[in-house]
Chains A and B, each alone.
Chain A
């Protein structure tokens, strides 16, 4: 992927955003617009991508319907499952939480969680904290990641 670091250096111009929103007829207040001062184009694109597709009611409902009722890890303590979970972690989590679980964009992953809580956080995400849900990977893969994380602790 090309480097888009230059977006960090470009600031969003609130006055220009106000003019755009006027043309589009979006009901933003002047305070909403003024709050953009100091934000970069990178911030804008991150905000856009986090929002994109997250407000589709049937999709949220479908993910909840597919979630298991009793949160019991079918792979608990299985070393082979943990190895598979490790490669899933490297692909889906390491970019934010670090290859060694030490954190980065997201926080370091600390011990002390039980299987069910870990599952819920990974499956549903923490929308207000910026962490996406991984329900699209399916229940089984999320349990594999839980197994890996528990083995690390």
Chain B
């Protein structure tokens, strides 16, 4: 059968830009981790922690993660539907609007414009840009699927569709606001309702941006990398529908012990626990797909990234539900335990899977073999050690803070001031800042490897079997 003319150029462009935003996010992350221990590094007003922290999260989630998902969705959808993109021009427009939006986000955040909603800081004009961006992207993905030449829809397409629809609904509902001026607006909801909508959005951003898309990527690139199919397509579909059904009810676990109605909190807690099942459905599917292929953990660097990635997904989806239980939440909520948890998901699960996918694509984007597999292995170990040091140091810091905050005297007064608890976690803050440097060393090695692949890579042997590339 003749191969359709797939558009690889747009995939390459998105990856290059997302790499840039990824490095920006990590650099800003390292800067703010040092600001927490050396306050003089805050250069007011533009470069204070309060303005840089949302820049770090927006560049990471929307620049690096979504930018790479744009690239990988546009890559996967063509192959899974066995046809070129519905519109190359729309994809090109999407690329420039994406970068314009990220730049507008960075500039306005540094100028101090914010809606003060976590992961939804951008003021209403940029909200509108995001909506246009997402509509353009959705049309291209959905139309390519509608006009597909392959009847069966592989599980990755289902996860992609969920992400496309889910993000649209979440973003629109949570961005409802009344403008006061060009860069100031107030939420359409008030008080506890506003908080409830915000965390329905906030937690499902984790679902529709940081879970469904990397699962789509994992389900596509694991069998592509190992050369053998996934263990069970049926299991993956069951896990998909139950995951999508359960996730949307869990947001209020961010609001345990608040004035949100008690039954909403209890429901969020119950659904969070139930989520362990579909999450581990995908984890188990990934592990069983390795039956008879475990030697590839030694021989194929792509598999190492993917399997460690899904392992961190498994750990993340056990730790998350644990944190959603009232008693445990009362202990660790508002401590540094939480960034420890989040970074296991972002640095461990999401980024490891994205690194693997980009390595897999490198020979296909550049027409040359990857410059150096030992460099890729070094990259793997640096980001793994960096991420573990980050999470473990923050978990210890969080438990220590929680213990000090909860210590009370016989008359009910607090044993420690907030300042005393802050000073006590400085050693862990140092460890965290250092972990960021280890992580970025790995990422810079990754970028250097890609640059050298373009400059010095050997011309690719296109007669090799598809799965053999990673095993070389």
Contacts and interface: CB of A to CB of B under 8 A. Distances in A.
A138 B44 contact: no
Interface in B80-126: none
B413 A136 contact: yes
Given A3-B44, A4-B45, A137-B413, 7 more contacts: A2-B49, A16-B181, A24-B186, A66-B411, A137-B414, A138-B413, A140-B409
Given A136-B413, A136-B414, A2 B48 contact: yes
B289 interface: no
A23 B186 contact: yes
B180 interface: yes
Most A C-beta atoms less than 10 A away, residue of B45, B178, B184: B45
Query: Lowest 7 A-B CB distances belong to which pairs?
Result: A138-B413, A2-B42, A138-B411, A2-B48, A6-B45, A23-B178, A23-B180
Majority SS of interface residues in chain A?
A: helix
A66 B412 contact: yes
16 contacts: A2-B35, A2-B44, A4-B45, A6-B45, A16-B180, A19-B181, A20-B186, A24-B186, A91-B417, A91-B419, A136-B413, A137-B414, A138-B409, A138-B411, A140-B409, A141-B413
B39 interface: yes
Contacts of A4: 44-45, 48
A139 interface: yes
A1 interface: yes
Interface in A39-82: 66
Interface in A128-153: 136-141
B137 to A, nearest CB: 32
Contacts, number: 45
A6 B388 CA distance: 39
Contacts of A1: 39
Interface in B35-55: 35, 39, 42, 44-45, 48-49
A95 B140 CA distance: 60
Contacts of B186: 20, 23-24
Contacts of B419: 91
A137 B45 CA distance: 34
Interface residues of B, number: 19
Interface string A1-15: 111111000000000
Interface residues of A, number: 19
Interface of B: 35, 39, 42, 44-45, 48-49, 178, 180-181, 184, 186, 409, 411-414, 417, 419
A3 B178 CA distance: 32
A103 B35 CA distance: 31
Contacts of B411: 66, 138-140
The CB with the most chain B CB atoms within 10 A, among A1, A4, A23, is that of A23
B412 A19 contact: no
Nearest to B190: A24
A1 B41 CA distance: 10
B181 A3 contact: no
Contacts of A137: 413-414
A64 to B, nearest CB: 14
B298 to A, nearest CB: 49
A79 B136 CA distance: 75
Nearest to A134: B413
A102 B318 CA distance: 56
A14 B48 CA distance: 26
Nearest to A5: B44
Contacts of B417: 91
A16 B184 CA distance: 10
A66 B409 CA distance: 13
A138 B416 CA distance: 12
A6 B43 CA distance: 11
A139 B409 CA distance: 10
A40 to B, nearest CB: 14
Contacts of B48: 2, 4
A17 to B, nearest CB: 10
A16 B39 CA distance: 32
A136 B417 CA distance: 10
B180 A20 contact: yes
A33 B184 CA distance: 18
B135 to A, nearest CB: 27
B188 to A, nearest CB: 10
Interface string A103-140: 00000000000000000000000000000000011111
Interface in A19-39: 19-20, 23-24
Nearest to B47: A2
A91 B411 CA distance: 20
